[in-house]
Amino acid sequence: MSTKSKSIETKTDFNQDERLKKVSKLRLLLNRPELGALGGAILVFMFFGIVAGDTGMFSAYGILNFLDVSANLGIIAIAAAMLMIGGEFDLSIGSMIGFAGICIAIPAIYWGWPLWMSIIFAFSMAVLIGYFNGILVVRTGLPSFIVTLAMLFILRGATLAITRLITGRTQVPGLRVLIEDDPLAWIFATDTFKWVFTWLGSMNLIALRTDGTPLATGIPPSVIWFIVLAIITTWILMKTRYGNWIFASGGDKNGANNVGVPVGRVKISLFIGTAVAATIFATIQVLDAGSADTMRGTLKELEAIAAAVVGGCLLTGGYGSAIGAAFGALIFGTVSMGIFYTDVDTDWFKVFLGAMMLIAVIFNNYIRRKVTESK
Amino acid sequence: MSDYLVQFNNISKFFGKVIALKDVTMKLKKGEIMCLLGDNGAGKSTLIKTLAGVHRPDEGEIIVEGKKTIFDSPKDALDMGIATVYQDLALVSLMSVTRNFFMGREPMKGPPFFKTFDIDKANKIAAERMGQIGIDVRDPSQAVGTMSGGERQCLAISRAIYFGAKVLVLDEPTSALGVHQASVVLKYIVKAASQGLAVILITHNVHHAYPVGNSFTVLNRGKSLGTYEKKDISREKLLSMMAGGEELNKLEVELREMNRSSAN
């Protein structure tokens, strides 16, 4: 076959002029979805470098602080971005965080399960709920916006009702003692690279407590998870067949179906992805705080989507990047923490968040027109 | 063993009481271009979907390379080498040329479980294939959205050929194109046929069909008005056989009368 059609080789002339127009390197760079977020992140760091450079923001402790906040948001933002590229939304991420939290805490505290079993239980529930979201959207053809909005209320309500039913209150404390010696919990609860910080402290390069131990004790688990997830998802999008299917499913559902892409399966797997990411977020926070709170994760779904949009994802799907969402989360995390180090009232953070998102959407829209317009 | 590559004999398709197709017969040899002409509502869409394996015919038989077959799904048709290029082309405009070319059929490399999409190989093949039909993709990672309509059509056809099509079913490949672009696409279709593919070209545009077709089947209200070799029929005859032909003649007469009355 290939030799046969190889000889279809006459040069038919298309309009010469349309080919002579060279695309500049800059335009090619502009076509990368994460460019806006990268530029935004650089601007944000420059701003705080000037305004808050001499405060504690860029000390080891300060840096870890805003990295931790960014990383937590980033974990769910990356999953939200993957799903958005696949052409769908998940508004139930925030509620899933609360639900996953009590899925860990109630079995561990009230039913006497070992912590690792509760964590596995929470992740199994996440897979089930993600699958349910996905199958509902794929089978009914309803907008995922509506389906997952319903799930937002259902999960939050169920979290509250179940917790009050079993415990009589809305918080489940007492998890901290269970973390030690647990074979699984350390993955979500260990500060890493402690020796680096001990060494830096011994060299008097970073701030110390009065007892001589460094103020910043190690890289929080959220940051490690965040970096690992960003690398894996970027690799999936750029380098695997599944990644190509995600773009195709979001770009043109029917077209993708016609050439044999299993669009339904791809979308369902992405819904499972957001629910699992929410559970990673929840596990890290619950183990860090030592307690589960039914209201944990409220409004996080919107922040995740905002970060994904700032990171270059189109609301219509088919375009975006995981690394862009990571930068988006970094921008939000840095500003939300950095604002404490400036004279600006922290009330203004939400204004910034909204303005940032608006600028990003307008910019993305412009880029999309540039990318798709016919000559 | 017949010398026909593919035969559709007396195909009928009913939807409830509606007769969408009745006794449509089409036979194609290698290298032949058959044009299927019909106005809107003539049953072209139903016929395409039957050829592509989306619908199962209620009557009639499909014979591919001498063997009687039944298509249960579009995949069956594709496996037999019958590739349909729909009007929407199944291209994603936000995705790159390469990613579109191999969408759903990505070349892989690497050890089992760690297989990755072999982008370099895919880029090379896509650029090579597009180059063969005279489309110079400077950068196969450019979005399909930046290509012209004719280039997109050629990409979709080229993709079907690369993945082993023996029979190409083309649904209105020139309808959305300007004159120049349409002629480029038609030229490419002739080239493809000259390499041994059979092409079914579905169109309502006789002016596009007549220069490239070897034979013509006219469809009207679900029935075939017959298949004609090119030497047996003129462009004007074809035009008037389609429902639109007579209407246009009538329109011409009416307009002439209007002109005359307004001149008075």
Would you tell me which residues 20-79 of chain A have a C-beta closer than 8 angstroms to some C-beta of chain B?
Answer: 22-23, 28, 31
Query: Tell me, what's the pLDDT at A13?
Result: 42
A207-220 as b/e: b if 16+ CB within 10 A: eeeeeeebbbbbbb
CB B104 within 8 A of CB B59: no
What total number of domains does chain A contain? 1
Assess if residue B85 is contained within a domain: yes
Segment A96-146, tens digit of pLDDT? 999 999 999 999 999 999 999 999 999 999 999 999 999 999 999 999 999
Q: What is the spatial distance between Cα A154 and Cα A96, in angstroms, rounded to a whole number?
A: 10
Helical residues (DSSP H) of A21-143, grouped into ranges:
25-30, 35-51, 60-85, 93-110, 115-140
Contact B237, B246 (CB under 8 A): no
- The residue segments making up the domain with residue A257 are 55-370
CA distance A237 to A142: 26
What region does B111 belong to: left with phi over 0, alpha with psi -120 to 50, or beta?
beta
Residues of B whose CB is below 8 A from A243 = 117
Tens digit of pLDDT for each residue in A230-267?
999 999 999 999 999 999 999 998 888 888 889 999 99
For residue A31, the chain B residues in CB contact (below 8 A) are 143
CATH code (residue B229): 3.40.50.300
Residue A347 is classified by DSSP as G
Q: Look at A373 and B139 and tell me if their CB atoms are within 8 Å.
A: no
Do the Cβ atoms of A12 and B187 come within 8 Å?
yes
Question: Chain A contacts of B75, Cβ < 8 Å?
Answer: 260
What is the spatial distance between Cα A14 and Cα A20, in angstroms, rounded to a whole number? 11
CA–CA distance, A89 with A97 (Å, rounded to integer): 16
Looking at every residue in chain A, the average pLDDT score rounds to 87
Query: Which residues span the domain enclosing B197?
Result: 6-94+164-234
A78 domain residue, yes or no: yes
Only one residue has tokens 């009914």, namely: A140
The answer to whether position A355 is within a domain reads yes
How many domains does chain B fold into?
A: 1
Residue B72 lies in a domain: yes
Residue B31 lies in a domain: yes
pLDDT single digits (tens) A269-299: 999 999 999 999 999 999 999 999 999 999 9
Which strand (E) or helix (H) includes residue A275? Answer: helix A263-289
Determine the residue type at B140.
P
**Across the interface, which of A9, A239, A314 has its CB nearest the CB of B116?**
A239
Residue A121 belongs to domain with CATH number: 1.10.3470
Q: In this predicted structure, what is the pLDDT of residue B24?
A: 87
**Cα–Cα distance between B2 and B63 in angstroms, integer?**
10
Tens of pLDDT along A327-374? 999 999 999 888 888 888 888 888 988 888 888 888 877 877 776 664
CA–chain centroid gap for A215, Å, is: 28
Beta-carbon separation of B149 and A256 below 8 A: no
Cβ partners under 8 Å of residue B9, min gap 6: B25, B60, B61, B62, B63
- The reply to whether A18 touches chain B by the CB within 8 Å rule is yes
Q: Are strands B82-85 and B167-171 parallel, antiparallel or unpaired?
A: parallel
DSSP state, A150? H
Distance from CA of A219 to the nearest CA of B (A): 29
- Residue A64, CB-side half-sphere exposure with 13 Å CA sphere: 20
Closest partner residue to A247 (CB to CB) among B99, B105, B133 is B99
Give residue A4's pLDDT band: very low, low, confident or very high (50, 70, 90): very low
Q: Give the gap in angstroms from C-alpha A303 to the nearest C-alpha of chain B.
A: 25
Residues 6+ apart with CB under 8 A from A36: A310, A311, A312, A324, A360, A363, A364, A367
Report whether B37 contacts B204 (CB < 8 A): yes
Strand, helix or coil for residue A49: helix
User: pLDDT tens string for chain B (264 positions)?
Assistant: 457 888 888 888 888 888 888 888 888 888 899 998 887 777 888 888 888 888 888 888 888 888 888 888 888 888 888 888 888 888 888 888 999 999 888 889 988 878 889 988 998 998 888 888 777 777 788 888 888 888 888 899 999 989 888 999 998 888 878 888 888 889 989 988 888 899 999 988 888 888 999 999 888 888 888 888 888 888 888 877 775 556 777 788 888 888 888 776
Q: In what order do the strands lie in the sheet with B33-38?
A: B67-69, B59-64, B6-15, B18-28, B223-229, B215-220, B33-38, B198-203, B167-171, B82-85
Supply the pLDDT for residue B2.
59
